Chains A and B, each alone.
Chain A
Amino acid sequence: MIMSNPDRKLQKMVIDGVEIDYTPGETIYQIADRSGKHIPTLCNDPRLEPFGGCRLCVVEVDGSSNPVASCTTKATPGMVVRTNTDCLEEYRRVLLELLVSENREIDVDTLRGYASQEFAELVDRYDARSGRFVGVRSGRSRTDDDNPFILRDYDLCISCYRCVRVCAEREGDYAISVMNRGFRTQITTEFEGLLADSACTFCGQCIQTCPTGALADRKAISAAELQGAVEKTRTVCPYCGVGCSVDILTKGDTIVGVHPAMDGPANLGALCVKGQFAFDFVQHQDRLSAPLVRGEDGELHETDWDTALDRAAAGFSDVVANHGRHSVYAVASGRAPNEAAYILQKFMRAGWGTNHIDNCSRA
């Protein structure tokens, strides 16, 4: 429940000619965003502190000689703001043309990461692939980093520092940082090493916030050639008890990756290496695909469900017939859903009439 603070009375401002209420402390960008304005930005991730680096989100404010960055500027009472004048749109187009000029041109696969299409979409929206501003390119891809999870394709980097900031502000790992300055800026680790030798925990947050696909999910893009559209299914991570919300990415019947759910109540978009990357056990060749029963030869053999269920039921019946209902025991899984645990305890209590049930919390 959101508590209303009496000191925080709503104020009014004007955006593109429309009066809008806001709560003191809100930035122009936040107010415009929730009012349905699509102010372009590349350095903004709503989970991070406003940075003010990309300057795409600049807006005109009455009384201010130059446009201001809407992401870092808080609204003031009566402020009059214009978000999309011809002049602003021209600055934005020039900026995007400049960005295009510093990078290698590729089609960025959506499997590269959660935010990987942001830059490409803006380039299309502003028709910025004009071929102007040719010059040397920035960033150097780390083809030598052979870690299995994070592709470091810095040729595509635009130095928005979202990766550095998410690593520091959200993950608290401070594994990556900014090296050099100006056009020679390079995202790096301590002493320009490999991620595996750094403080990186491979949580994948940098991948998911990267707006160009410069940092990419190596496991997911290995499925880039697979036919079909990428579908998302919201669920909860299968590992520890924190209960992070995730979106499983599928192509057809194949799980190809995982995205953190940015609105997940427990994780607010965060994940760890297991939740982010350890998903493919589900479709591993070792999965059991049919029931097994132990044969006369002492080995387990595949069989059909009816045979296996009959055999299992008969085994329990025999034991109870010979030793009573308190001779059976069940252990519920701490990994399976609530329904499994509920049904299993009901099976023991209502079926057999015993309280001989436990779960694996004692291990």
Chain B
Amino acid sequence: MSNPLADMEKPDVIFCIGTNMTECHPVAATRLKRALARGAKMIVADPRQIGLSDLADIYLPIRVGSDVALLLAMAHVIERDNLTDPDFMAARTVGGEQFLQHVRQFPPEWAERITGVPAKDIEAAALLYGNAERGAIYYTLGVTEHICGVENVQSICNLALMTGNVGREGTGINPMRGQNNVQGAGDSGALPNNYPGFQPVTDPQFQNKFRQLWGTTVDIEKGMTKVTALGRAGDQIRAMLIDGENTLITDADRHHCEQALKSLDHLVVIDIFLTDTAQLADVVFPATAWGETDGACTNTERRVQRLRAAVPPSGEAKPDWWIVCELAKRLGFDGFDFDSPNQIFNELCDVSATYHGLDWDRIEHGAYQWPVPEKGHPGTPRLHEKEFPNGRGVFKIIEYRDPAETVSAEFPLWLTTGRRLQSYHSRTQTGRSRGIDFLLPEEVLEVHPEDLERWGLRDGGWCRVTSPRGSVEIKVKATRRSPRGTVFASFSFSNVPVNVLTGSGYDPITETAEVKVSVVRIEPCDSSSITV
């Protein structure tokens, strides 16, 4: 997030796109609700009529995968009606002229044909955001999990840059991170292209830095993304160490993923449960869980906070870092003689530019948001206040393109996937917490009530959903939360492995799978075949 969570109470106009925040980030959503109670207006763009859309002033039910068209048309209206911030554009950005020229081709009427949203509503949304004194955009995986995920994000940036809604209180471009420490994992260097603190591995300056720090040779090429690695498993990639990820359930295209992991010569998994993924491993290490582990983590607003152990480990479970250090020592690697997480965290801070001013003691109260370039620095709750990392904000020329798959006679429905409030990811945790089943006992396929008859379905009955990659059987729930022609399910339940269906394509830059768009057909199936 460019702006702190506290800023969520401060915009005049909130634009949420591809984020089911009341279910996926409920506590962040409470801040938006307070802004609304204070009089802020909200635009929500989402194919599904999610909880946020009930609170919205303008709800834009876009067709799955049509975000770029919507955002181009909004930019068109903002340019047409002179709602841009020319001072900001002149002082802080480059490429604005070409961008404004570019968007003149994309009136709301053009976008209506692609998104299915009435042109007047697109127009109203653009005027609302364009006229905002403080406009803030929030998005989540509904924007990024597409073949055009990067283009979606860039289109959002264009909108914020043209209106100067960056670097000020109550504005910003705010992706919400989905997992408790997915931000921290990237910060700490668990990325194929960056050392800790986002220092590029391809930059000789940083190669030298780490060569000296570690006293070893370093790889000067970018590594593979996980998606590529899974694609090359059994071929170039022969061994994997997976820490705390149930890849099989959470990744797109389960069949492909399962084949990939099975084709490895050696698979080691560190986890707290024997997950579906761990069951394929050659060695499984029991890790200490939340509540048993001391450490640091970093949240969606870049705030670095302490995790503390409250109870002793389960059985012989050990912290993840200890396990990897022991492996390293057995392999004869130097630099893994750590006794405690604070030594490791302090080393991370030493080598990282973003955490450089932090150490274990300083994060005691969670008061810092990175970048904290040196000791004594107060941290940076709000990014880009004076300048962008590379100087100026760059407008990108983006064109709309269709998703990897589009509906056809064979696969006439759109499938989109996501999370639900009560379950988390593959339910390894929520599925083992008393009471959660009371709220959400099973997964269902959400179908618009008026679509039931067409596909011969019954509310509460079972159906088989088939995509070009596979089939799953799932219970049907009629709800107007789904638009006609689009169905929804979460990927949380291992007995309904929805990711068998997904994986139609990948963003060429991030290699993130387009799990938000698949095409499927649905047909009723005999419930007796299910209830064995």
Contacts and interface: CB of A to CB of B under 8 A. Distances in A.
Given A311-B283, A318-B265, A336-B287, A236 B320 contact: no
B324 A344 contact: yes
Interface string B304-328: 1111111110111111110111111
A333 B245 contact: yes
Interface stretch (A58-66, A77-85, A182-190, A281-289): A281-289
A361 B186 contact: yes
Contacts of B154: none
Nearest to A174: B33
Contact of A244 (B27, B224, B310): B27
The listed residue with most A CB atoms (<10 A of its CB), out of B184, B282, B300, is: B184
Contacts of B187: 338, 341
Interface in B324-357: 324-328, 330-331, 333-336, 338, 341, 344-345, 347-348
Contacts of B272: 287-288
A51 B107 CA distance: 50
A278 B189 contact: no
A361 B182 contact: yes
B28 A242 contact: yes
Interface in B23-61: 24-30, 33-34, 36-37
Interface string A237-264: 1111111110010100111000000001
A324 to B, nearest CB: 9
Contacts of B378: 1
Contact of A362 (B241, B294, B513): B513
B242 interface: yes
Interface in A139-167: 147-149
Nearest to A248: B310
B510 interface: yes
A358 B328 contact: no
A83 B311 CA distance: 43
B321 A343 contact: yes
Contacts of A363: 245, 247, 250-252, 513
A282 B311 contact: yes
Contact of A245 (B22, B305, B345, B434): B305
A254 B287 CA distance: 18
Q: Among the interface residues A254, A265, A328, which one has the most CB atoms of the partner chain B within 10 A?
A: A265
A274 interface: yes
Nearest to A323: B238
Contacts of B293: 336-337
Contacts of A1: 378
Nearest to A267: B27
B266 A337 contact: no
A203 B26 contact: yes
Given A358-B192, A363-B251, A281 B289 contact: yes
Contacts, number: 492
B424 A356 contact: no
Contacts of B240: 328-331
A12 interface: no
Contacts of A219: 434-435
A178 interface: no
Contacts of A318: 265-266
A266 B188 contact: no
A327 interface: yes
Interface string B422-441: 10100011111111101100
Interface in A298-342: 300, 305, 308-313, 315-320, 322-323, 325-342
Contacts of A203: 26
Chain A CB within 10 Å, residue with most, of B190, B192, B236, B300: B190
B366 A265 contact: yes
Nearest to B499: A363
Contacts of B241: 312, 316, 328-331, 344, 347
Contacts of A20: none
Of A237, A290, A318, A337, the most chain B CB neighbours within 10 A belong to A337
B271 A356 contact: no
Contacts of A360: 179, 182, 185, 226, 245, 247, 250
Nearest to B292: A282
A172 interface: yes
Contacts of A290: 286, 315-316
A235 B347 contact: no
A9 interface: no
Contacts of B181: 241, 333-338, 341
A219 B433 CA distance: 10
B168 interface: no
A358 B367 CA distance: 28
Nearest to A287: B314
B324 A329 contact: no
B525 interface: no
Contacts of A137: none
A240 B297 CA distance: 12
B301 interface: yes
A234 B36 CA distance: 31
A228 to B, nearest CB: 12
Contact of B281 (A243, A286, A294): A294
A288 B292 CA distance: 13
A327 B295 CA distance: 30
A333 B512 CA distance: 16
A340 B315 contact: no
A11 interface: no
A240 B438 CA distance: 21
B505 to A, nearest CB: 13
B90 interface: no
A341 B268 contact: no
Contact of B314 (A170, A289, A345, A353): A289
16 contacts: A147-B435, A148-B438, A149-B435, A170-B34, A236-B366, A240-B424, A242-B176, A253-B312, A277-B436, A278-B424, A283-B314, A300-B279, A315-B266, A338-B304, A355-B222, A358-B192
Interface of A: 1, 147-149, 169-172, 196, 201-203, 218-219, 231, 233-245, 248, 250, 253-255, 264-267, 270-275, 277-284, 286-294, 300, 305, 308-313, 315-320, 322-323, 325-351, 353-363
Complex A-B, nearest 8 residue pairs according to Cβ-Cβ distance, in ascending order: A289-B315, A337-B295, A243-B299, A172-B33, A333-B244, A241-B177, A355-B223, A148-B435
Given A282-B311, A361-B182, 12 more contacts: A235-B306, A236-B180, A236-B297, A236-B366, A245-B305, A273-B439, A279-B433, A288-B278, A288-B286, A322-B238, A329-B239, A330-B242
